[in-house]
Amino acid sequence: MRLRLSAPGYLLLLGDLIAFVFFVYYGKIIHNYPVTVMGIIETLAPFLVGWIISILLFKSYRQRTYESAGRQLLSALITWTLAAPIGLLIRSWWTGVPTTLIFAGVTYFITLAFLLGWRVPFAIGYAIYKRKRLLPTS
């Protein structure tokens, strides 16, 4: 499968990746773990694998998806709803530590909050951008 993105799609993907990094950074700070680049990558990797599988399956970054704020937010919800359990399973297998229900719930909802927290401003900005592009200039 091939992922073709327009400029706004790349921006949306970049923002999502930054939201994931912030989630991992926040988790490490909250749990008093050392924050290192390798530590962030190790924690993030299983969830990014899940995210990649989900975005390819749902075509989460196609233009039709982010043309509408509602579709964009729904897409993030659906994509993360599949990506989270995939990431949790990979993480459990990789670390050898079973996933608890509380950890799964916190991971799901806090990461979703980070994703939607980024996507709401993106949706507003993209709507303004679209409107300005469509208005004739005199």
pTM of the predicted structure, to 2 decimals: 0.88
The number of beta carbons lying within 10 Å of the beta carbon of residue 46 is 20
What's the chain's average pLDDT?
92
Indicate the DSSP class of residue 36: -
pLDDT at 136: 64
**pLDDT given for residue 129 in this prediction:** 87
- Ramachandran region of residue 96, left (φ > 0), alpha (ψ -120 to 50) or beta? left
* Intervals of the chain under pLDDT 70: 1-3, 135-138
pLDDT at site 3: 65
Of 75, 74, 99, give the one whose Cα is nearest residue 87: 99
